[in-house]
């Protein structure tokens, strides 16, 4: 079966080739029915639900409206085996911890099966995407939703890890970046990693070209000194959703949480968002009014998320607001991003680390003695890097604005 694809504004044939997927529909129907021990005659229809970033999502509906979701990775999705197996294992583990995620009914992480593609079968959850309601909610309802989001994060971050026993291991990594194009052919260590320092350094030993290699070598010089002591409150491993956006959150018809009183002393320590409309608001054009209202909505959401996180997840709040904690994550992300000509982002992150050296964290007593930064740049090289980065950020912003204007993304 070859399904229709959304029309791209450019490179349409390339986008179609990347996502074209041939599989045996009858075999898929059989697998779906076997997963819930029902006869094939109970299956009313199989239809495409959506085109995701890495998967085509199909919906199988039975004659009593019971619904199963089938996720089939695109041809370009890598690594298929680890991506499918990792998601299935993660969902099973989260359900065992009482987290409301779809039930895994069946999967195959290899395409040597009757369907001829990798697949993941999930029980469909009731509810509508939060993204469909988010922009029409009043502030009170939106805060209720945010409280539930923070409650869910609290459950995730409080799951003790490692907790997998003999069934689940951490690694090899299933992140797309580590299998991107020719990277899949590299004989490099992708995990599992036992030590925190190994996670930061083991993936970066083989890569080119020469200029980027120099920056990766500098990154590797930093990693031994960026380790967090096991006793530090930021050191424990935690689970987080990789894309905790409104469209990935389902909301059912029942409300659970009442509106909270935000006059407590803890929340009073946060700077209150400016939500007063300008005096000439009514005289502005419709587009300008929408822009102002959206800015205020974002401010309110940011404030309430910060207040809820500060109250219920103080360690998480402190990690998010600490520059050196976030800079560690930025260094790791920049070093791991597939190289497509941009070496400036990594170099700029390294210059930030040099500026903040020795990159201390709240309550970090082990770095009382100053350790010289192992990476050195001249003042002129640092200034040039900062200037180039500022110009690049400005160009990227202009590019984003142009894409928004014509209504397209990077893929067309």
Q: Among residues 309, 278, 317, which one has the least CA distance to residue 296?
A: 278
Pairing of strands 67-73, 55-62: antiparallel
pLDDT at 83: 85
Place of tokens 């260094």: 331
Q: Show me where the domains of the chain are located.
A: 12-125, 131-172+207-377
Which residues touch 265 (CB under 8 Å, ≥6 apart)? Answer: none
Cα 58 to Cα 395: distance, rounded to the nearest angstrom: 39
pLDDT at 348: 95
Domain 12-125: what homologous superfamily?
Phosphorylase Kinase; domain 1 (3.30.200.20)
pLDDT at 18: 75
pLDDT at 322: 93
Q: What residue ranges of the chain have pLDDT lower than 50?
A: 200, 203, 205-208, 255-268
Place of tokens 């044939």: 13
Which residues touch 95 (CB under 8 Å, ≥6 apart)? Answer: 101, 103
Contact yes or no for 2/21 (Cβ under 8 A): yes
Report CA-CA distances (Å) from 22 to 78, 111, 354: 17, 11, 51
Contacts 24+ apart (CB under 8 A), 314-323: 315/157, 315/233, 315/234, 316/153, 316/157, 318/234, 318/362, 319/234, 322/361, 322/362, 323/356
Place of tokens 């990347």: 18
pLDDT at 94: 87
Contacts 24+ apart (CB under 8 A), 192-198: 196/227, 196/228, 196/235, 197/223, 197/224, 197/227
φ and ψ at 267, to 5 degrees? -70, -25
SS3 (DSSP) at 332: helix
Q: What end-to-end distance do the CA atoms of the chain give, in Å?
A: 25
User: Can you point out the beta strands (E) in 109-261?
Assistant: 119-123, 128-129, 250-251
Question: What is the CB-side half-sphere exposure of residue 376 using CA atoms within 13 A?
Answer: 2
- SS3 track for 91-135: HHHHHHCCCCCCCEEEEECCCCCCCCCCEEEEECCCCEEHHHCHH
Per residue in 196-214, pLDDT (tens digit) is: 555 545 545 444 478 888 9
State pTM to two decimals: 0.69
pLDDT at 257: 28
């Amino acid at each position: 079966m070859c399904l229709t694809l959304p029309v791209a504004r450019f490179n349409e044939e390339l986008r179609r080739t990347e996502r074209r997927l041939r599989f045996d529909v009858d075999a898929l129907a059989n697998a779906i029915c076997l997963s819930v021990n029902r006869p094939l005659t109970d299956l009313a229809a199989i239809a495409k639900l959506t085109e995701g970033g890495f998967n085509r999502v199909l919906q199988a509906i039975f004659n009593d409206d019971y619904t199963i979701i089938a996720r089939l990775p695109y041809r370009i999705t890598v690594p298929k085996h680890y991506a499918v197996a990792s998601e299935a294992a993660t969902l099973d583990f989260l359900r065992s911890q009482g987290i409301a995620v779809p039930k895994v009914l069946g999967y195959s992480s290899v395409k040597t099966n009757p369907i001829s593609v990798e697949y993941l079968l999930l029980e469909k959850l009731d509810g509508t995407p939060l993204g469909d309601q988010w922009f029409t909610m009043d502030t009170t309802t939106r805060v209720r939703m945010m409280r539930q989001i923070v409650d869910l994060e609290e459950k995730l971050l409080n799951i003790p890890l490692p907790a997998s026993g003999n069934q689940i291991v951490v690694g090899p990594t299933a992140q797309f970046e580590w299998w991107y194009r020719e990277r899949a052919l590299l004989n490099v260590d992708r995990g599992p990693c036992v030590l925190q320092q190994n996670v930061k350094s083991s993936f970066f030993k083989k890569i080119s070209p020469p200029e980027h290699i120099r920056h990766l070598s500098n990154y590797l010089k930093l990693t031994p000194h960026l380790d967090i002591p096991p006793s530090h409150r930021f050191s424990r491993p935690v689970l987080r959703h990789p894309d905790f956006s409104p469209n990935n959150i389902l909301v059912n018809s029942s409300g659970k949480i009442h509106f909270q009183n935000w006059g407590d002393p803890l929340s009073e320590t946060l700077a209150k968002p400016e939500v007063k409309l300008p005096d000439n608001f009514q005289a502005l054009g419709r587009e300008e009014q929408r822009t102002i209202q959206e800015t205020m909505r974002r401010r309110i959401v940011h404030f309430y998320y910060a207040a809820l996180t500060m109250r219920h997840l103080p360690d998480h709040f402190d990690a998010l607001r600490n520059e050196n904690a976030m800079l560690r994550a930025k260094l790791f992300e920049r070093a791991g991003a597939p190289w497509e000509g941009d070496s400036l982002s990594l170099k700029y992150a390294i210059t930030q680390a040099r500026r903040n050296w020795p990159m201390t964290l709240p309550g970090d007593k082990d770095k009382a003695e100053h350790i010289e930064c192992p990476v050195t740049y001249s003042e002129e090289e640092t200034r040039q890097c900062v200037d180039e980065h500022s110009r690049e950020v400005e160009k990227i912003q202009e590019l984003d604005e142009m894409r928004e204007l014509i209504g397209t993304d990077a893929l067309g």
